[in-house]
Structures are given as structure tokens and as C-alpha cells.
């Protein structure tokens, strides 16, 4: 998850597509020389302890691969921190999720005699999962705090797991327990008065949980590119909420040209018109051409 305060002078779609609004691992070293010192990386080895099993594609090695990528010299000046343990994490989660859902996940995680526990075939709690689940939420809250603190931080990248964009108000699914990005967005509003919050999601799968959280909230924007048809079955163009949901589904085999066209003709014009106070990216990289889970063919440059 990447978080960015929106500038007072909203840049053009061309500038957004060129990568000026997010500091991601794929940016050139030239760009990083000017931006990386103002980017906060939030992560912790505890995220790798969440272990849904050897046959689950959402596995600890995802964290290790990113660690290797971010160990390069271009990233030496990143400001790095572990997320804080926060007393307000439950309160923040309950802005998006039902209390019964929170209590159930917490109780299942605490029942160590019956762990691992599979909520479904993808979504598995292990002995160390609760710390990772709550830590992923706390990373998003810390990122929002850092951006509003006046400390010079302009971007934050949350290298966390488990992911969150499939988690619905009362349902864990698709590797996800709590909706990390929606929780961070609601927190930005309640804590700092960010009136208009935007989430842009470029995972290969549609973020049904984020869409559900924002569905009736005209001051929250959700824009998604994703492969369709594919799990979880949502994300059609016709799903518009109160005019704040902007889905741009792609077909199996689509690559750079189709992805960029979807962003430049559907997602980014709507984002321009929305004029958000803060932008959050649901940064799922499984639309990459090298990922075997689905059939989109994006390159490093497309993500940048």
C-alpha cells in the first residue's frame, strides 16, 4: 500500500501516469535521488511470520523478495520504520468492519490449539497471524500520521502482509482479514479531517472489500483496474456506487497499452474531477507478466 498527500495544484494525468504521485520500487534511480528521502517505508519482519501454508501463493517469500529489491543502493536514503503497536487500532478497524467480525478473527487467532485455521481455502490464520494482521492495519495508520505530521514525509510505502482489499465488513476472504487501505482512508478523515479520500487499486483482482466500504460514501473515491472475469467476480463497469466507484476491467491477455488506456481514459479523469485530499494506492503487483496467478501482462514500467 502506498499513500500520498494530494498536492494543492493537481497534476495532469500525464504527470500521474509518469509516476510523480507515488514512489514505487520501479522508479528510476534519477527520480529516486530527489524523492526517496521524503518517502517512508513501513515494514517489519513479523509480517513474514504470518504463514498460511506451503501451498498458498500469498506466502512469506513475498516479503523477502521485496526486502531484496529494497536493499539496493538506490533505496539507501529511504526513511525506514516498523509500524507502532497502537491502542487505537481496534477503533480504526471498527470504522470499516463489524464488531462481530473483529471479535471472531481475534478469537480464532487466539485459539492456538486449533491453529492453523482455514476460514476458506485462501484465508488461513496461523500462530503468528494476529500480530501481522493488526500490524498491517497499524502501518497504514502510521503512514497517514507521517504524512500529516509536517515532518517532510510526502509518500509512504507500507510493505505489509496479509493484504486487505478483499475483506468485507463482516467477511474475511481472498487472503484478507481487515481492509487495510479502507481503514487508513477512514482514519485520515476522522483524525485529520481529510474530506475527500481516494483509493486507486491496480491489483489483478478487484478489491471488493474496498468497494463495499466506499459504496455509499460520495466523499470516498475507488478506482480499480483488474482482470475480469476473475476472483472475486465483482468489478464491472456498471458498479458505480453513488457515482464514486470507477471500475476499468481488463481482459485476459491485456498488457501495457490496454492498462494505460484504462487508467488514462477512465480512472485518472475521474480522479482529476474528484480532487482528493489524500491518495492511497492498493499496490498489488500480480498483474505483472511474470506472475502465474492470472493473465495480465504488465511490465515494471507500467507500475511506475
206 is catalytic: no
Question: Residue 28: pLDDT band by 50, 70, 90 thresholds?
Answer: very low
Q: Say if residue 273 is exposed, middle or buried (CB neighbours under 10 Å; 0-12, 13-18, 19+).
A: exposed
Contact 235, 222 (CB under 8 A): no
Report whether pLDDT(182) > 80. Answer: yes
Work out the end-to-end distance of the chain between its first and last CA atoms, rounded to an integer number of angstroms: 14
CA distances from 261 to 17, 192, 204, 238, 254 (A): 10, 34, 16, 18, 11
User: What's residue 6's pLDDT?
Assistant: 67
CB neighbour burial string for 155-172, b if at least 16 within 10 angstroms, e if fewer: bbbbbbbbbbbbbbeebb
Name the residue with cell 473515491. 221
pTM here is 0.89
**139: part of which helix (H) or strand (E)?**
helix 129-148
Report whether pLDDT(156) > 70. Answer: yes
Question: Residue 35: pLDDT band by 50, 70, 90 thresholds?
Answer: low
CA distances from 33 to 38, 75, 76, 138 (A): 10, 9, 10, 28
The CATH number of the structural domain formed by 2-303 is: 3.40.800.20
Per-residue H/E/C for 224-240:
EEEECCCCCCCCCCCCC
**79: part of which helix (H) or strand (E)?**
strand 79-81
Q: What share of the chain is helix, strand, coil (3-state, %, to 5)?
A: 40, 15, 45
Residues 148-163 have a mean pLDDT of 93
- pLDDT, one tens digit per residue, over 202-245 is 999 999 999 999 999 999 999 999 999 999 999 999 999 999 99
Phi, psi of 266 (to 5 degrees): -120, -55
Give 59's DSSP letter: -
Q: Which of 50, 166, 226, 246 is catalytic?
A: 166
Domain ranges of the chain: 2-303
| Residues counted in the chain | 304
Q: Return d(Cα 244, Cα 197) in angstroms, integer.
A: 11
- pLDDT, one tens digit per residue, over 252-280 is 999 999 999 999 999 999 999 999 999 99
Give the three-state DSSP class for 220.
strand
Amino acid at each position: 500500500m502506498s499513500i500520498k498527500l494530494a498536492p494543492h495544484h493537481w497534476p495532469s494525468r500525464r504527470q500521474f501516469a509518469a509516476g510523480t504521485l507515488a514512489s514505487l520500487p520501479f522508479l528510476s534511480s534519477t527520480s529516486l535521488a530527489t524523492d526517496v528521502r521524503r518517502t517512508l517505508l513501513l515494514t517489519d519482519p513479523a509480517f513474514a511470520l504470518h504463514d498460511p501454508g506451503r501451498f498458498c501463493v500469498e506466502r512469506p517469500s513475498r516479503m523477502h523478495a521485496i526486502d531484496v529489491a529494497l536493499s539496493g543502493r538506490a533505496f539507501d536514503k529511504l526513511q525506514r520504520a516498523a509500524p507502532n503497536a497502537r491502542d487505537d487500532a481496534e477503533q480504526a478497524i471498527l470504522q470499516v468492519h463489524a464488531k462481530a467480525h473483529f471479535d471472531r478473527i481475534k478469537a480464532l487467532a487466539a485459539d492456538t490449539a486449533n491453529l492453523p485455521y482455514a476460514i476458506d481455502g485462501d484465508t488461513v490464520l496461523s500462530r503468528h497471524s494476529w500480530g501481522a494482521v493488526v500490524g498491517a492495519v497499524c502501518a497504514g495508520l502510521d503512514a497517514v500520521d507521517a504524512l500529516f505530521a509536517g515532518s517532510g514525509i510526502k509518500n509512504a510505502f507500507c510493505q505489509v502482509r496479509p493484504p486487505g482489499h478483499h475483506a468485507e465488513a463482516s467477511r474475511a476472504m481472498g487472503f484478507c482479514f481487515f481492509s487495510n487501505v479502507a481503514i487508513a482512508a477512514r482514519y485520515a478523515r476522522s483524525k485529520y479531517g481529510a474530506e475527500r479520500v481516494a483509493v486507486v487499486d491496480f491489483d489483478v483482482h478487484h478489491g471488493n472489500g474496498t468497494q463495499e466500504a466506499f459504496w455509499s460514501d460520495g466523499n470516498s473515491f475507488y478506482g480499480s483496474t483488474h482482470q475480469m472475469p476473475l476472483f472475486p467476480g465483482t468489478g464491472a463497469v456498471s458498479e458505480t456506487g453513488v457515482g464514486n466507484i470507477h471500475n476499468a476491467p481488463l481482459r485476459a491477455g491485456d498488457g501495457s497499452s490496454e492498462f494505460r488506456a484504462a487508467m488514462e481514459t477512465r480512472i485518472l479523469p475521474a480522479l482529476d474531477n474528484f480532487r482528493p485530499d489524500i491518495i492511497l494506492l492498493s499496490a498489488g503487483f500480480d498483474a505483472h507478466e511474470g506472475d502465474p496467478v492470472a493473465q495480465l501482462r504488465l511490465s515494471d514500467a507500467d507500475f511506475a
